[in-house]
């Protein structure tokens, strides 16, 4: 079955994609292309799914790299397959041709970055905690240290939870505003003391403020489209036992 691959014109001509659920070997609540080895899905199905993604990007499975994501601002510089256990981080960068960098998400922001002229790429996992800690800026900084120029870097945010679906508490807003009061623009009022956070809008703002040349969100909401995307928050609301992980990847 054909994989559902969402591409961004900003990242052309580099092979890349934000992959949906279609075309995978998993079943049940993981039905489709679950690429999360940390899920309770069958390991064989996850391995097959990841191999299909690697094939779509034109690399061997061991060249599709990922980290043990922990909602941090840690960035790994990759020049070949990563050791096991995988490094605990939330972003990867490389200048080595033939490597594909990937992140897993299920509502958080998958962010792919590239400076094609400088020959440097990056991938970041940015939930609200990672965004607050500066994972996007740290990724841009790491790319620059490899020879990229932030004024040439283009970034795309893939399917993530939209503001309409992302209800948060006042304590989260207080933590974000303590870091930067200007981020108040990304919160809208909800029921009672609840608020709605515009996570991709906040991510785009931080990317642009970091000096990247161009940035966009693909405008796909993970929560609102269960047929196409996995969603952690939807899993919680439905009281399901587990959830699949979407993969986003870019190859140099």
**Residue appearing with tokens 């699949």:** 244
- Asked if omega into 85 is within 30° of 0 (cis), the reply is yes
Arithmetic mean of pLDDT, 101-129: 98
Residues 122, 221 within the same domain = yes
Share the mean pLDDT of the chain.
97
Q: Is pLDDT above 90 for 181?
A: yes
**Residue appearing with tokens 């795309």:** 156
Arithmetic mean of pLDDT, 222-236: 97
Residue 95 has a pLDDT of 98
Q: Is pLDDT above 70 for 1?
A: no
Residues 83, 176 within the same domain = no
**Model pTM score:** 0.97
Give how many domains the chain has, as a whole number: 2
CATH number (domain holding residue 247): 3.60.140.10
Residue 8 has a pLDDT of 98
Residues 180, 156 within the same domain = no
Dihedral of the CA atoms 78, 207, 10, 229 (nearest 10)?
Answer: 80
Arithmetic mean of pLDDT, 160-169: 97
d(CA 143, CA 38): 27
Residues 129, 168 within the same domain = no
Residues 35, 65 within the same domain = yes
Residues 171, 112 within the same domain = no
Task: Give me the percent of the chain exceeding a pLDDT of 70.
Answer: 100
**Taking the mean position of all CA atoms in its chain, how far away is CA 147?**
23
Residues 171, 230 within the same domain = no
Confidence of residue 190 (pLDDT cuts 50, 70, 90): confident
Arithmetic mean of pLDDT, 16-27: 97
Helices 135-145 and 199-209 pack at an angle, to 10 degrees, of 40
- Asked if omega into 244 is within 30° of 0 (cis), the reply is no
Please list, in sequence order, all residues whose beta carbon lies within 8 angstroms of the beta carbon of residue 87, skipping any fewer than 6 positions away.
67, 68, 74, 76
Residues 101, 223 within the same domain = yes
DSSP H or E run through 205? helix 199-209
Residues 143, 204 within the same domain = yes
Q: Identify the DSSP state of 211.
A: T
Decide the pairing of beta strands 154-157 and 167-168.
Answer: unpaired
Residues 177, 76 within the same domain = no
Residues 185, 87 within the same domain = no
Nearest to 101 by CA among 5, 110, 145, 146: 110
Arithmetic mean of pLDDT, 73-101: 97
Q: Give the pLDDT confidence of 134-164 residue by residue, as tens digits.
A: 999 999 999 999 999 999 999 999 999 999 9
Q: Is pLDDT above 80 for 43?
A: yes
Domain residues for the domain of 177 are 163-197
Residues 151, 172 within the same domain = no
State both tokens at 172.
Answer: 């989260």
d(CA 247, CA 21): 9
CA within 13 Å, CB half, 73: 13
Residue 19 has a pLDDT of 98
Please, are residues 111 and 156 in contact by the beta-carbon 8 Å criterion?
A: yes
Arithmetic mean of pLDDT, 109-130: 98
Confidence of residue 41 (pLDDT cuts 50, 70, 90): very high
């Amino acid at each position: 079955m054909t994989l559902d691959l969402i591409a961004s014109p900003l990242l052309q001509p580099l092979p890349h994609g934000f992959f949906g659920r279609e075309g995978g070997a998993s079943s049940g609540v993981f039905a489709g292309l679950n690429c999360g080895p940390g899920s309770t899905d069958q390991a064989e199905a996850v391995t097959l799914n990841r191999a299909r993604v690697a094939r779509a990007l034109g690399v061997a499975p061991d060249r599709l790299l990922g980290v043990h994501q922990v909602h941090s601002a840690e960035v790994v510089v990759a020049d070949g397959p990563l050791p096991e256990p995988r490094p605990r981080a939330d972003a990867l960068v490389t200048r080595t041709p033939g490597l594909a960098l990937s992140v897993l998400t299920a509502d958080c922001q998958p962010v792919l970055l590239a400076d094609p002229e400088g020959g440097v790429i990056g991938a970041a996992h940015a939930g609200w905690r990672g965004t607050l800690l500066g994972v996007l800026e740290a990724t841009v900084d790491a790319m620059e240290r490899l020879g990229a120029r932030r004024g040439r870097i283009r970034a795309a945010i893939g399917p993530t939870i939209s503001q309409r679906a992302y209800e948060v508490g006042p304590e989260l807003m207080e933590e974000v505003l303590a870091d930067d009061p200007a981020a108040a623009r990304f919160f809208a009022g909800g029921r009672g003391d609840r608020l709605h956070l515009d996570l991709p809008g906040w991510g785009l703002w931080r990317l642009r403020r970091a000096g990247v040349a161009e940035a966009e969100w693909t405008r796909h909401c993970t929560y609102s489209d269960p047929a196409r995307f996995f969603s952690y928050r939807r899993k919680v609301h439905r009281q399901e036992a587990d959830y699949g992980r979407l993969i986003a990847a870019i190859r140099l």
